[in-house]
Amino acid sequence: MSYCFDDLRKACREDWDAYVQHAFVRELAAGTLESEAFRHYLKQDYLFLIHFGRAYALATYKSRNITELRHSLEGLKTIIDVELGLHVDYCREWGISEEDLARLPEARATMAYTRYVLDTGNRGDLLDMHVALAPCLVGYGEISNWLNAQPFTVRGDANPYEKWLAMYESEAFQGAMRAEIAWLDERLASVTPERFAELTTIFRDATRLEIAFWQMGLDRSL
Ligand SMILES: Cc1ncc(CN)c(N)n1
């Protein structure tokens, strides 16, 4: 039996769909999401991205050859240069200054998700780490593609969240998503059924923590 990334998705189908098709992203794509819910999510996502930068740095540290090193470094650059850079500018447009960002309280959902991924990376190997990171990178790329195919999605000036939608359909982000899937496909091809079961647990846990992150935005909870 040879595995690939899609087998992880299939093994967690219910959780994966609940994440990709969550009410938060549906409302965002329709342009009906309450602006305070979005602002709350944006602030927590800043903290999330800082910790995910650390997680990609850990993946870089755990790399054992130049190919792995380059791949993890590309992930780190996507988070820091593409997403986090745009995020700070975007927060400013939504009335959140860098000073506000510097003194944010961290929501429990942010703590749980980011520390789970860092702990998985510390305990496990590079494959554990990348499987824990996959719902983040692959998930948002897939969410973007799924939303673009839905009749309720409003694009352009009529949607206040147009920039968010545009970021995740950008070639920089979609290319990073494809590279991550290709990397995972290559590694998963040679794992045993026992190892695949362990990786499925990590993928499911990280996906459930993504669902909790959307819900935190909707509920504006800390
Ligand atoms: C919670 C969360 N998950 C994923 C992403 C996409 N990197 C994000 N910005 N925030």
pTM of the complete model: 0.93
Q: What is the fold, at CATH topology level, of the domain defined by 5-219?
A: Heme Oxygenase; Chain A (1.20.910)
Percent pLDDT > 70 in the chain is 100
Distance 171 CA to ligand 1 centre (A): 17
Q: 11-43 burial, b if ≥16 CB within 10 A, otherwise e?
A: bbeebbebbbebebbbbbbbbebeeebbbbbbb
**1 CA distance to ligand 1 middle (Å):** 32
With 90 as the cut, is the pLDDT of residue 83 above it?
no
Nearest residue CA, atom 4 of ligand 1? 136
Tens digits of residue pLDDT in 108-159: 999 999 999 999 999 999 999 999 999 998 999 999 999 999 999 999 999 9
